[in-house]
Amino acid sequence: MIPARLLSILTIALLASCSRIDNNESEQTRRIVSLDFCADQYLLGLADAEQIAGLSPDAAKSFSYYRDRAGAFETIRPRAEDILLTRPDAVIRTYGGGPNITRFLERVGVRVIQIDYAVDLASVKANAQTTAAALGQANRGETIAAEMDRRLAALQATGALGGETLYLTSKGAVAGRGGVIDELIVRAGRSNFQQTDGWGFLDLERLAYRKPDVIAAGFFDGPDAATDKWSPTRHPVAKRALENARVVNIPGAWTACSAWFVLDAAEAIAAPEEEA
């Protein structure tokens, strides 16, 4: 015998399949569910409130940029059953729901808007535009892209500020050459202290010989930031570097998802000391 719950899910899946609208990208997609906190940002930042059928359970947490807007919406666990019970027209995700969720949802007729991983500011902008278009909010995407261009131009107009800048998270991760953070540091008119490629961990020995002028301290704002027993940032050598450099606090919410609001971080890094 087929359990009643399974039957109801299959029925909903069938209904979802039948009611699927072949979305023209200029049309607004109704009833969208977000599967992770990065996707939440795109949905909260680009969609109209009436388009949002549900957000991820992390939407209102401290590392969510639009957490203040999230309280008005229902949260849904990124599980197939819970998603289907909300009868969405589309879901939006970066990683939420696991690797097999896309295939499953598409098989039952739910459109999946997959946000790509941004590797630089150009792809940050492109993500905003393509995601906005997929949500039926192409104009909003263009507005955000134009705003990004304006802010970057303003940073460029400031000129080179100098000062080696280390992006350091509370867990001890550092951003090397390449990637969004490196570009933010350079666009802010400074140079990246970390000269290795990609992400790495803080090398305490290097700090013994050479100190950054500016430390862009990421994720030091979280509730557990100060308690990570394993982080090199607890070490006296790192603590001294943090005391001696100019520290610019970069809330985790600004950079966690590499969405358009990462420019907040660039502006903070570029800001004169009294404004940072």
Partner 1 sequence: MTDARLVVGLVVAAVGAVVAACLIGSTPLPMGRVFAALTGAGAPGDVIVIWEIRLPRALAAFTVGVALGASGAALQGLLRNPLAEPGVLGVSACAALGATLVLFYGAATGLTVALAAMTGALAATALLAIAAVRTSSVVTLILIGVGLSSFAGAVMALLLNLAPNPFSLADLMNWTLGSVANRSVNDLALAAPFLAGGLLCFAVAARSLSALALGEETAFGLGVDLRRTRLLVVAGAGLATGAAVSIAGAIGFVGIVAPHLVRPFVGHDPGRTLLPASLLGGVILVLGDIGVRLIPTPSELRLGVMAALIGAPIFVWIAAMRGRRS
- Per CB under 8 A, residues contacting partner 1 are 58, 61, 63, 171-172, 201, 203-206, 208-209, 219, 222-224, 227-232, 234-237, 252
Nearest to 253 by CA among 225, 214, 212, 213: 225
Question: Closest separation between CB of residue 211 and partner 1, Å?
Answer: 10
Question: Closest separation between CB of residue 101 and partner 1, Å?
Answer: 17
Cβ proximity to partner 1: between 171 and 190 the closer is 171
Question: Closest separation between CB of residue 236 and partner 1, Å?
Answer: 5
Question: Closest separation between CB of residue 197 and partner 1, Å?
Answer: 12
Cβ proximity to partner 1: between 33 and 207 the closer is 207
| Alpha carbon distance, N-terminus to C-terminus of the chain | 64
Cβ proximity to partner 1: between 35 and 108 the closer is 35
Nearest to 87 by CA among 188, 176, 14: 14
Question: Closest separation between CB of residue 184 and partner 1, Å?
Answer: 20
Cβ proximity to partner 1: between 152 and 237 the closer is 237
Cβ proximity to partner 1: between 87 and 234 the closer is 234
